[in-house]
């Protein structure tokens, strides 16, 4: 494939990926909002520091971080 064709194919066929991090905390005196904020900041850090692409040629077109802190009756904390 020629470079122009490769570039066109890359734009037409984006890669979509999800990182699922499931964390169970023994909270001590930590509140759920602190946990949510910490995990939100971790996701932002990955994106802002270029850790979603590393040194590769890929470029991030868009990204989002969603943190859900489960109630005690639900599963542990989930990050999408």
Give the H/E segment covering residue 47.
helix 32-48
**In this structure, what token pair is assigned to residue 9?**
């194919």
pTM of the predicted structure, to 2 decimals: 0.68
Is the separation of the CB atoms in 69 and 77 below 8 Å?
A: yes
- Pairwise pLDDT comparison (30 vs 46), residue with the higher score: 46
**In this structure, what token pair is assigned to residue 45?**
């850090």
Closest residue by Cα to residue 41 from 17, 68, 65, 70: 65
Confidence of residue 40 (pLDDT cuts 50, 70, 90): very high
For the sheet containing 67-68, what is the strand order? 21-23, 77-79, 67-68
- Pairwise pLDDT comparison (72 vs 79), residue with the higher score: 72
Whether 78 has a pLDDT exceeding 80, the answer reads no
């Amino acid at each position: 494939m020629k470079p122009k064709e490769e570039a066109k194919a890359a734009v037409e066929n984006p890669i979509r990926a999800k990182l699922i991090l499931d964390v169970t905390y023994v909270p001590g005196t930590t509140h759920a909002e602190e946990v949510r904020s910490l995990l939100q900041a971790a996701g932002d850090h990955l994106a802002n520091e270029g850790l979603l692409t590393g040194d590769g040629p890929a470029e991030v077109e868009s990204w989002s971080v969603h943190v859900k802190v489960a109630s005690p009756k639900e599963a542990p904390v989930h990050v999408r």
